[in-house]
Structure 1
Amino acid sequence: MYRAASSCYGFQDQGVMIAAANPAIFNNRAACGRRYRIRCTGRTNLGVLQPCRNGEITVRIVDLCPGCGANQFDLSQEAFSMIADPNAGRIQIDYNQ
């Protein structure tokens, strides 16, 4: 399996509960290693009408998501699928550190 290097940890394995942070949160690598609790709150499109699954997850920041907006994270597939239907692609979230 090919694994891309992360901005924070290179090729070091950080597990699957990981995320890339938007530029403001990433703050020039200051967020590396921080943990965020993330919960799905709703849909962003008409594709999947009820994408959320119960509960919240905790992810570790390992990379920058340059295309992410102010309240966005790019979650690993494993992390995303724990809180939402993967077919949704994007969801609304609440998060805190």
Structure 2
Amino acid sequence: MSKAQTQILFYLFITLFIDLPFPSFADVGVAAQYSPPYLPTGCYGGEALQFPSSNLFAAAGDGIWDNGAACGRQYLVRCISAEKPRTCIPQQSIQVKIVDYAFSTVSTPSATGTTMVLSQKAFQTIANSSAALINIEFQQV
């Protein structure tokens, strides 16, 4: 094999290696939204200090609730698709704190049976607020 052929193979290998997608350790699910009142919650009762100052929080659905062990967990969340095109805000991710159980929230979620029910502020940060449901990618941090 000539030096030129070796260099071509080397550059081809490097190009293929660099272009390979990195493995994702995130899960996918569905999110709804809910609005105030948020208290009391299934995690912390009536304690107002439970909410992050950013108002980026969520209620956990059955899939992640884990008999209450989800309370306080933090998740990176991003909208990946929705029924209506251009619902998701591109390249926007948020970090939410689980403060409640989706099936016991004080206010009614926009949809039931979801992975997460995002606070109004959290939902509006990653998607158009007129949507009832969005498909999300989420990862515990």
CA contact (8 A) 1:21 1:68 kept: no
Which residue in the other structure is 2:113 paired with?
68
Distance in 2, matches of 1:21 and 1:2, equals: 17
Q: How does 1:1-97 map to 2 (within 5 A)?
A: 2-13=37-48, 14-15=51-52, 16-43=55-82, 45=83, 48-54=84-90, 55-66=92-103, 67-69=112-114, 72-97=115-140
TM-score in terms of structure 2 length: 0.60
Moved over 2 A (4+): 1-4, 66-69
Q: What is the CA distance between 1:3 and its match in structure 2?
A: 4.2
Call closer, same or farther: CA 1:84–1:10 in 2, change over 3 Å: same
Greater C-alpha Rg: 2
- AA partner of residue 20 (structure 1): A
Aligned residues: 92
Task: Report % sequence identity.
Answer: 36
Deviates more, 1:31-40 or 1:12-21: 12-21
- AA partner of residue 42 (structure 1): S
TM-score in terms of structure 1 length: 0.85
Query: Residue 121 of structure 2 aligns to a residue in which SS?
Result: helix
Call closer, same or farther: CA 1:81–1:68 in 2, change over 3 Å: same
Distance in 1, matches of 2:124 and 2:46, equals: 23
Q: What is the CA distance between 1:64 and its match in structure 2?
A: 0.9
Please give the root-mean-square deviation of Cα atoms over the aligned residues, in Å.
1.6
Query: Residue 68 of structure 2 aligns to a residue in which SS?
Result: coil
- AA partner of residue 57 (structure 1): I
Call closer, same or farther: CA 1:3–1:34 in 2, change over 3 Å: closer
* Unmatched 5+ stretches in structure 2: 1-35, 104-111
Distance in 2, matches of 1:74 and 1:91, equals: 10
